Amino acid sequence: IRLYVEHPLGEAQTLPLSREQAHYLFGVMRQGAGDHLLVFDGKCGEWLAQLEQAGKRGGTLRVLEQTRPLRMPPDLWLMFAPIKKARTDFIVEKAAELGAARIIPVQTAFTNAGRIQRDRLQAHAVEAAEQCGGTFVPEVTDLQKLPALLDGWNADRRIMFCDEAAPSGAPVLPDAPGPWAVLIGPEGGFSDAERQRLRGLSHAHPVSLGPRILRADTAAVAALTLWQQALGD
């Protein structure tokens, strides 16, 4: 069992378990006092811990020793337009598994979702990190409007602008130094004005992911997989 804890971890600490954590450990996973588990905080690596007190509404665990240091993913961001709830959850989960360092939901011209439940999406990133053995949890930011995001963009970070209208046949991953951010549009794609603006930015590189139109969640997974393969971390 691997559990994310918010409190920064260190040797010989006793940490309280939240109601949800206690329910998961003692109710769902049938653990009890004395059982061991791995905990990580996203900052100080992974630690071996032992459950001390077990109760329905809470409990405590004792942090014993470090098992792994923090391993940061490559400095790669995912920016995506939120789509239907389940598919948005899927994108966040897969982005965390595939090592995105930051996840930015973006409101574009054709994005239907006017708001997101950031806490819920962050919880999906935590669950994905618990499940995939990561020691880092990417931050899911608040929803940002694309024009404002581009206005305040630091051009040192290049944008892999995934667009089905981009010419296919060119190498998928642009051959330019990073860091990079992947940008994925909504089900309705990007508007002409957005395309024009992005194509005019020297730090944005239009990229085709092949001759077929992918769903936004497929496109996000495909783009991040390519980066994972290229960056190897």
| Contact residues for ligand SAM, defined by CB under 6 A | 162-164, 184-185, 187-190, 208-210, 212-216, 219
Q: Taking the complex as a whole, how short is the minimal distance between the CB of residue 37 and ligand SAM, in angstroms?
A: 39
Task: State the DSSP code for 165.
Answer: T
The residue number whose beta carbon is nearest to ligand SAM equals 185
Query: By C-beta, is 111 or 135 nearer to ligand SAM?
Result: 111
Q: Taking the complex as a whole, how short is the minimal distance between the CB of residue 209 and ligand SAM, in angstroms?
A: 3
Q: Give the position of tokens 């595939």.
A: 98
**Residue 208 near residue 170, CB atoms below 8 Å:** yes
- The answer for residues whose C-beta is within 8 angstroms of residue 169's C-beta and 6 or more apart is 208
Query: By C-beta, is 42 or 186 nearer to ligand SAM?
Result: 186
- The answer for residues whose C-beta is within 8 angstroms of residue 222's C-beta and 6 or more apart is 209, 210, 214
Query: By C-beta, is 104 or 162 nearer to ligand SAM?
Result: 162
* Paired tokens of 216: 């936004």
Q: Taking the complex as a whole, how short is the minimal distance between the CB of residue 101 and ligand SAM, in angstroms?
A: 20
Q: Say how far apart CA 209 and CA 207 lie, in whole Å.
A: 7
Query: By C-beta, is 129 or 219 nearer to ligand SAM?
Result: 219
Q: Taking the complex as a whole, how short is the minimal distance between the CB of residue 225 and ligand SAM, in angstroms?
A: 13
Q: Say how far apart CA 2 and CA 61 lie, in whole Å.
A: 13
